[in-house]
């Protein structure tokens, strides 16, 4: 089944404790991206990747890191999480040759205490 998976789905952590949210897609998509969703602010892009080893900042990159060492994986790293990073995070992927339709993962709900 074609899908985007994220892990963990739920995470509660404390300020300053490094964490990684994994994202994996099995559709051989070139583009991958991370979004956060907050009440009243909607979905905002954090980082995106056009292909392996090619990444760039979205609208709200501060406090986040990403890497793209393999085509299927695009982990989101919070080196020193803070309470303002409490949010619902989504990973997405797409293939430019098919109209660039975006496929989203199920989301990761992160709470930073």
Binding site for another protein (CB under 8 A): 31, 33, 40-45, 48, 50, 56, 58-59, 88, 90, 92, 99-107, 109
Closest contact distance (angstroms) between CB of 46 and another protein is 11
Closest contact distance (angstroms) between CB of 74 and another protein is 13
Cis-peptide into 47, omega within 30 deg: no
Q: Output the CA torsion sign for 31, 106, 12, 42.
A: positive
Cis-peptide into 60, omega within 30 deg: no
Nearer to another protein, 35 or 78 (CB): 35
Closest contact distance (angstroms) between CB of 98 and another protein is 9
Six token digits for residue 61: 């990159």
Nearer to another protein, 58 or 63 (CB): 58
Q: How far apart are CA 113 and CA 109, in angstroms?
A: 13
The residue assigned the tokens 């300053």 is 16
Closest contact distance (angstroms) between CB of 19 and another protein is 20
């Amino acid at each position: 089944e074609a899908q985007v998976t994220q892990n963990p789905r739920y995470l509660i952590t404390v300020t300053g404790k490094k964490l990684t949210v994994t994202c994996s897609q099995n559709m051989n998509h070139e583009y991958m991206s991370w979004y956060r969703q907050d009440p009243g602010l909607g979905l905002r892009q954090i980082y995106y990747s056009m292909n392996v080893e090619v990444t760039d900042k979205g609208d709200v990159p501060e406090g986040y890191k990403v890497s793209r060492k393999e085509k299927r994986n695009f982990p989101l790293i919070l080196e020193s999480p803070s309470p303002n990073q409490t949010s619902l995070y989504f990973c997405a992927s797409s293939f430019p040759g098919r109209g660039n339709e975006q496929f989203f993962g199920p989301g990761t709900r992160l709470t930073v205490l």
